[in-house]
């Protein structure tokens, strides 16, 4: 049991995000991706509402995603530079695998919306952790496509939002460690009447 605990903690301590534009093949195959998605769904979910959806964008539909992004730019930012249009195509076609996470809250339910949105965030973290556990790297990307009404409509029902685009693959170069918070600044002990 101790070795299992140690290896789990080591796994969690070494998870890092990768830059999708630097990801290379191989990515997770169909069975591995199913495993990642099943683990992602094992998340706290007060009320058992499943207030989220995961949409896989297969490799043979990435060009269609690129066209969708260009169509959105044509409407939402018609004067954008060619570089932004090129970046949209790169966004759609980078990394071997892509999952779009949709926040799909059950509106009007007794479970508060905030709790349902937090559950979607927990799915995101499980997805990244499972990806890492299988030896791949993941990157959770938002940016303008996440907030575009045209892109949202292609993935979401009314009342739903895109929580992020999750690109999965193998790192094309060693991952860099990012600065981590000073624990003394983000952890405190509550002592009663003040905020700690």
User: Taking the model in full, what pTM does it have?
Assistant: 0.94
For residue 75 the two structure tokens come to 């409407």
Closest to 102 in 3D by CA, of 169, 42, 56: 56
Kindly state the tokens that stand for 6.
């140690």
Q: H-helix or E-strand containing 10?
A: helix 2-14
Identify the pLDDT of residue 22. 97
Q: What is the pLDDT along the chain (196 residues), one digit of tens a residue?
A: 557 888 999 999 999 999 999 999 999 999 999 999 999 999 999 999 999 999 999 999 999 999 999 999 999 999 999 999 999 999 999 999 999 999 999 999 999 999 999 999 999 999 999 999 999 999 999 999 999 999 999 999 999 999 999 999 999 999 988 899 999 999 999 998 766 5
Pinpoint the alpha helices (H) of 55-138: 62-76, 82-93, 113-133
Is the backbone of residue 171 left (phi > 0), alpha (psi -120 to 50) or beta? beta
* Radius of gyration, alpha carbons of the chain: 19
Architecture of domain 19-57+94-174: 3-Layer(aba) Sandwich (3.40)
> Residue 124 has what pLDDT?
98
70 vs 74: CA distance, rounded Å: 6
DSSP 13-82: HH--B--GGGEES----HHHHHHHHHHHT-S--TTS---EEEEE--GGGHHHHHHHHHHHHHHH-TT--H
Helix (H) or strand (E) holding 100: strand 97-103
Cβ-count burial 60-83 (b if 16+ within 10 Å, e if not): eebeebbebbeebbeeeeeeeeee
The domains of the chain are located at 19-57+94-174
């Amino acid at each position: 049991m101790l070795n299992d605990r140690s290896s789990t903690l080591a796994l969690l301590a070494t998870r890092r995000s990768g830059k999708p534009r630097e990801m290379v093949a191989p990515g997770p195959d169909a069975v591995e991706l199913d495993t990642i998605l099943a683990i992602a769904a094992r998340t706290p979910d007060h009320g058992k509402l499943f207030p989220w959806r995961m949409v896989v964008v297969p490799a043979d539909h990435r060009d269609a995603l690129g066209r969708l992004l260009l169509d959105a730019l044509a409407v939402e930012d018609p004067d954008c530079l060619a570089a932004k249009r090129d970046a949209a195509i790169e966004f759609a076609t980078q990394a071997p695998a892509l999952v779009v996470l949709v926040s799909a809250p059950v509106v009007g339910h007794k479970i508060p919306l905030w709790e349902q949105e937090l559950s979607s965030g927990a799915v995101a973290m499980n997805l990244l952790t499972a990806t890492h556990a299988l030896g791949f790297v993941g990157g959770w990307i938002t940016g303008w496509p996440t907030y575009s009404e045209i892109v949202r409509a292609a993935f979401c029902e009314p009342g739903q939002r895109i929580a992020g685009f999750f690109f999965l693959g193998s790192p094309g170069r060693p991952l860099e460690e990012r600065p981590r918070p000073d624990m003394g600044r983000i952890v405190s002990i509550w002592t009663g009447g003040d905020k700690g």
